[in-house]
Amino acid sequence: MTNLLDKKMILNTDIINFDLQFEEIYSIINNHSMVEVTDIEGNIIFANKKFCDISQYSEQELIGQNHRIIKSGFHTKEFYKDLWSTITSGKTWHGEFKNKAKDGSYFWNKQMIMPRFDNKKTICGYISIGTDITTEKELSEKLTQIEDNLVQQNKNLQEKIKRKSDEIIKKEKLSMLGTMASRLAHDLKNPLTVVKAYSDILSRQLEDKMNYEMKMKVSKLKNSITDMSNIIEDVLDFSRTVELDLQKNSIFKILMIALENVDKPKQINVNINYSDIAIICDSKKIEAVFSNLLSNAIQALEEIGEINVRLTEEDNQVLITVEDTGPGILEDDMPRIFEPLFTTKQKGTGLGLSICKNIINLHGGDIIVKNAPTTFIVTIPKNIKKTNQ
């Protein structure tokens, strides 16, 4: 008898305890989670306080509205397809949802959606319980962003290091090559001067005794000597010390001297607009720049055409453009023409334009090229400071 009574008492306490626990659990769920109940079409029939607080809608605003009221537009069609196929087949769906609050801000939920069944065991609606994970999501988005940035920065840095080390290797190779070439050019210069002098003397002395064929051979010999001495001058110019001898000079005068120095076929016209601009520069070096640009233009024209040289002033700089009516430069070659040793000519050294760029840069200026018509544009500041060197 006592046994039976005891058992009953125990059972009662269990029920009381369970009631208490259920109330507690209910209040915990309400405080912690967003609870929403919808009908079978997703129309809201219940939303707890937490749901109202986070979505910023009042209970009145929510009841009767479709769940879509908080749709953010973030998720894909496939995402919804998976959700609906899970819950309409009677299973519970778990996942993370990005939603939109009344003021347009977004919030994230870790959500569980389960179907509700009527007494015929058919689905009559859905219950969703969600935990607000906005802070975690934002934090993880920020972390992903930081990680992406770091990965990108790392990639950029690696590319920069590769570019720089390639440049250094190239520079080292070029400087070694430059030293070798300049030694060779230096050693060849004197014997070549002797060869040139003797060939001049001999051709003068034998002028009357030579037939046409012999004269052609001597002319070829002289041309070859000129080619060789041009190459030697280019190589020496390239490796010469870069000290500038700065004086005030008329840019027009320098241009005229350069023009006298280049070999120009009669059918090539050089038109220069006279402009008396004086700048502080190294006249010998600027003369070398003009000679290079003019002889490149002459070579491009192949015997006939026009070269237009314009001198103009702009703010504190002088602008010199050398334009020719030649065939222009292949687009693929454009980025390379200022590189040392780049040439498309059989007898070219590929040093001319790199010497020009170097000289102009030493003057604090720049040189660029454009096609159609081929135009080299040189800009030099009028008052280069001596410290620029």
Ligand X SMILES: Nc1ncnc2c1ncn2[C@@H]1O[C@H](COP(=O)(O)OP(=O)(O)O)[C@@H](O)[C@H]1O
Binding site for Mg ion (CB under 5 A): 296, 352
Footprint of ligand X on 293-352 (CB under 6 A):
296-297, 300, 324, 326, 329, 333, 337, 342-345, 348-352
331 token code pair: 């687009």
Q: Using the minimum distance from each CB to Mg ion, give the nearer residue, 47 or 294.
A: 294
Residue with tokens 């290091």: 161
* 44-47 vs 268-272, strand pairing mode: unpaired
Residue 230 interacts with ligand X (CB under 6 A): yes or no: no
Binding mask 248-287 for ligand X (x = CB under 6 A): ----------------------------------------
Q: What does the alpha-carbon distance between residue 320 and residue 290 come to, in Å, rounded to a whole number?
A: 9
Closest residue to bound Mg ion by CB = 352
For residue 43, the 8-state DSSP code is: B
Q: Using the minimum distance from each CB to ligand X, give the nearer residue, 244 or 294.
A: 294
In this structure, are residues 299 and 267 in contact, taking their beta carbons and an 8 Å threshold? no
Shortest distance (Å) from residue 388 CB to ligand X: 24
Q: Is the peptide bond before 373 cis (omega within 30 degrees of 0)?
A: yes
In this structure, are residues 334 and 379 in contact, taking their beta carbons and an 8 Å threshold? no
Residue 131 interacts with ligand X (CB under 6 A): yes or no: no
Q: What does the alpha-carbon distance between residue 264 and residue 260 come to, in Å, rounded to a whole number?
A: 9
Shortest distance (Å) from residue 332 CB to ligand X: 11
Shortest distance (Å) from residue 337 CB to ligand X: 4
Q: Using the minimum distance from each CB to ligand X, give the nearer residue, 134 or 295.
A: 295
Residue 130 interacts with ligand X (CB under 6 A): yes or no: no
Shortest distance (Å) from residue 263 CB to Mg ion: 13
Q: Using the minimum distance from each CB to ligand X, give the nearer residue, 71 or 336.
A: 336
Q: E strand or H helix at 127, and its extent?
A: strand 123-132
314, 226, 304, 230: which is closest to 277 by C-alpha?
A: 314
In this structure, are residues 312 and 275 in contact, taking their beta carbons and an 8 Å threshold? yes
Shortest distance (Å) from residue 235 CB to ligand X: 11
Q: Using the minimum distance from each CB to ligand X, give the nearer residue, 51 or 338.
A: 338
Backbone angles phi, psi at 46, to 5 degrees: -155, 140
Binding partner of residue 344 among Mg ion, ligand X, none, CB under 5 to 8 Å per kind? ligand X
Q: Is 121 left (phi over 0), alpha (psi -120 to 50) or beta?
A: left
Residue 374 interacts with ligand X (CB under 6 A): yes or no: yes
Q: What does the alpha-carbon distance between residue 48 and residue 62 come to, in Å, rounded to a whole number?
A: 10
Binding partner of residue 349 among ligand X, Mg ion, none, CB under 5 to 8 Å per kind? ligand X
Q: What does the alpha-carbon distance between residue 320 and residue 314 come to, in Å, rounded to a whole number?
A: 11
Residue 36 interacts with ligand X (CB under 6 A): yes or no: no
Amino acid making up residue 289: V
Shortest distance (Å) from residue 248 CB to ligand X: 28
Q: Which residues bind to ligand X, rule: CB under 6 A? A: 292, 296-297, 300, 324, 326, 329, 333, 337, 342-345, 348-354, 374
